[in-house]
Amino acid sequence: MRRALVLMLIIYTSILSIRAEQEKQIKGYVKDADNRPVKFCSVILKNKQIGTYTNSEGYFNLKVPNSKSDSIIISHIGYKRRALVISELIKKDTAVIYLDENAVKLDEIVVKPGSYLSTNYKNSKRERNVYIGSVGTILAYHVNEGVGGFLDEVEFYFRKQKTKSAYVLLRVIYPNQRKLEEKDNVLDTPLIYEIKPGMKKLRVNLSEFAIEIPEKGLLVGLEFMGNPNLSDDEYNVRNGEGRVGVILTTKKNKPKTFVSAWHNDWNLHKTDQLTFSYTQKHFNLKISYIILERTN
């Protein structure tokens, strides 16, 4: 019996040793050209569902495969995306990575008073469940009403937050690509919100951005960032720390909600992608929005 336990211990230790050799930890700071921290910046293993976000000091810590060819993508709205080879980062104890601001800005559009009618849209089907947003996931609803008008306001609904605060990034995206590309971001300013305990709604006024609804519509939703400011001990995912629950509704005839993990391919949000027991129903993100529609 003792010999068997010793053998099992040796095997277990060997497995841990092999895994440690296969994985490496990279850490560093992301800063802008003025040496200021870029907080809530995504650090993603290219083409993999692995990533993290920088905290308020621009610091990140990520376990990655010990590979000479793999790379990470560092990106944030308003900055140029950077790709770095992991093998180079592993050599450094703590890397310092600089991002340049994106010089491409949205064209200024003036919404003339009296030319538009404010129309309120509500995805008000029966609430069916809650989606607990995994860190790095984008959940976005396809807004395709009011083409030629302007997205004026949007509101999202949450399960009452009982744990520590978590953060979400408002996403407004052109639905042109299968995978999220930098050019698909409609906003050039990151709109990040803290979802505090007890908070059940988030209403965002977008009138200053003059977001026009194109013919293909827009994907409007949230990117779940967790809480990068929590320590590893505090970040207890099992207890829901750093995660937000958004309300879903049922809409049998036309699913309009898309999901992407760590900026990988978009997938239509269906029950076969979740662990819900309901069958032959599609779930949509519960959302309300106001569009200024042209009257002439």
* pLDDT interval class at 125 (50, 70, 90): low
Domains contained in the chain, number: 2
Domain that includes residue 19, residue range: 2-99
Same structural domain for residues 77 and 153?
Answer: no
Same structural domain for residues 120 and 222?
Answer: yes
Q: Is residue 110 part of a domain?
A: no
* pLDDT interval class at 130 (50, 70, 90): confident
Mean pLDDT of the chain: 79
Q: Which of 19-33, 115-129, 262-276 has the lowest mean pLDDT?
A: 262-276
CATH number at residue 53: 2.60.40.10
Does residue 181 contact residue 174 with C-beta atoms inside 8 Å? no
Nearest partner of 243 among 269, 260, 229, 225, judged by Cα: 225
Q: Is residue 26 part of a domain?
A: yes
Does residue 147 contact residue 214 with C-beta atoms inside 8 Å? yes
Q: What is the pLDDT of residue 243?
A: 79
Q: What is the pLDDT of residue 276?
A: 33
Q: What is the pLDDT of residue 295?
A: 77
Q: Is residue 107 part of a domain?
A: no
| Residue 50 Cα to chain centre, angstroms | 13
Q: Is residue 177 part of a domain?
A: yes
Same structural domain for residues 87 and 165?
Answer: no
Calpha distance 203→219 (Å, rounded): 17
Q: Is residue 65 part of a domain?
A: yes
Q: Is residue 170 part of a domain?
A: yes
- Residue 271, pLDDT > 50, answer no
CATH number at residue 160: 2.60.120
- Residue 212, pLDDT > 70, answer yes
Q: What is the pLDDT of residue 274?
A: 36
- Residue 151, pLDDT > 90, answer yes
Model confidence pLDDT, tens digit, residues 9-53: 444 444 334 344 457 888 899 999 999 999 999 999 887 888 999
Same structural domain for residues 156 and 280?
Answer: yes
Does residue 160 contact residue 195 with C-beta atoms inside 8 Å? no
Q: Is residue 108 part of a domain?
A: no
Nearest partner of 296 among 153, 149, 183, judged by Cα: 149
Model confidence pLDDT, tens digit, residues 90-105: 878 888 999 998 865 5
Q: What is the pLDDT of residue 105?
A: 57
Q: Which of 16-20, 129-133, 213-217 has the highest mean pLDDT?
A: 213-217
Model confidence pLDDT, tens digit, residues 221-259: 999 998 888 766 555 444 455 678 898 887 554 778 888
Q: Is residue 104 part of a domain?
A: no
Model confidence pLDDT, tens digit, residues 57-115: 999 998 888 766 688 999 999 899 999 988 888 878 888 999 998 865 555 555 555 57
Q: CA angle, 286 as apex, 283 and 287 as ends, to 5°?
A: 140
Calpha distance 282→262 (Å, rounded): 23
Does residue 243 contact residue 279 with C-beta atoms inside 8 Å? no
Phi/psi at 89 (5° precision):
-70, -35
Predicted structure pTM score: 0.82
Q: What is the pLDDT of residue 221?
A: 95
- Residue 128, pLDDT > 80, answer no
